[in-house]
Copies of this chain bind each other. A is one copy, B any other.
Amino acid sequence: MDSIKIFAPATVANVACGFDIFGFALEEPGDVLRITRSEGDGIVISNRVEGLQLPLDPESNTAGIAVAKMLQSMNTKAAISIDLIKKINPGSGIGSSAASAAAAVFGVNELFGRPYTTIQLVEFAMYGEIAASGSPHADNVAPSLIGGFVLVRGCDPLDVYSISVPDNLYCAVVHPQVTVNTAEARAMLKKEILLRDAVTQWGNAAGLVAGMYSANYELIANSLHDVVAEPARATLIPEFHKVKEAAMQAGALGCSISGSGPSMFALCKGMSTARKASEAMSNTFTKNNIANHAYTSSVNAGGARILN
């Protein structure tokens, strides 16, 4: 019997101008999974966090779905037990389901002697995302596995790249305790957008990448605008505009919705500005009677890793 404990970080997807193509890893929170391989067949999932409601049927749990695809690909039978010590709240918009799937495939890959590359692990983990959100996307699973800031240039075929991050780029994330369903948030978006808006968005997506490589914080700030998803989804987050304004007043380079929400993120130059932005955003939710959790992190955080 082999057993391993894995950490996989929460992630911020979309990053304002990069709907479905950008994502980055946080230092915390993250999911911890104990994965055990033994003789036999079948996947068993257990929840080790009291009070948390999770689907434990392997066919409806993102970690179970991803690991099943992996075992099928290896044409191997094994009994895999997955103990979930979830520290990312489900439905928070910071890649909760993605982190569990990422940790699970990372751990199983270790237990089988690393037969797969990281990109192949991203592909397995994406199957879990289809179940969670109704569409295949890699902008949470890829940064959770790889770490740092990731460009998902395309999903079919999967084409993923690490983007250089300036040393002093930090992030504030605040999770208000309200519920946003990922599939519903996706359904809010129109199937067609104005070409004019699309040009604005790809100008900003290109600008953000150029700003990252050239450590040009002014360009990063100029590029952190979302004219596609944010205008529709902001209505799902109570006090969105006040919280964004608070982050900007605190000196953030930009602030938008993390994934499909309800968490909001702000990118900042320097850890102290990120702390101020985090506090300002959290206080604004609190003043409006919305309980919340706040985090600050480097954007250069690592990806999935083995814990002792």
A residues with CB within 8 A of B? 17-22, 151-154, 159, 161, 163-164, 189-196, 198-210, 213-214, 216, 219, 222-223, 228
Contact = CB atoms under 8 A, between A and B. Distances in A.
Contacts of A205: 202-203, 205-206
Contact of A207 (B19, B151, B164, B208): B151
B214 A164 contact: yes
Instruction: Kindly report how many copies of this chain are found in the complex they form together.
Output: 2
A161 B203 contact: no
Q: Is the interface of A mostly helix, strand, loop or mixed?
A: mixed
Contacts of A20: 199, 203
Given A192-B192, A195-B189, A207-B153, A202 B164 contact: no
A210 B213 contact: yes
B21 A213 contact: no
A21 B208 CA distance: 13
Contacts of A163: 210
* Ranked 10 nearest A-B pairs via Cβ: A213-B213, A202-B202, A153-B207, A202-B205, A198-B198, A192-B192, A209-B209, A205-B206, A21-B203, A153-B203
Contact of A190 (B195, B204, B228): B195
Contacts of A190: 195
| A163, A196, A198, A206 interface centre (most CB from chain B within 10 Å) | A206
A181 to B, nearest CB: 19
Contacts of A208: 206
A172 B200 CA distance: 28
Contact of A151 (B19, B191, B199, B206): B206
Contacts of A151: 203, 206-207, 210
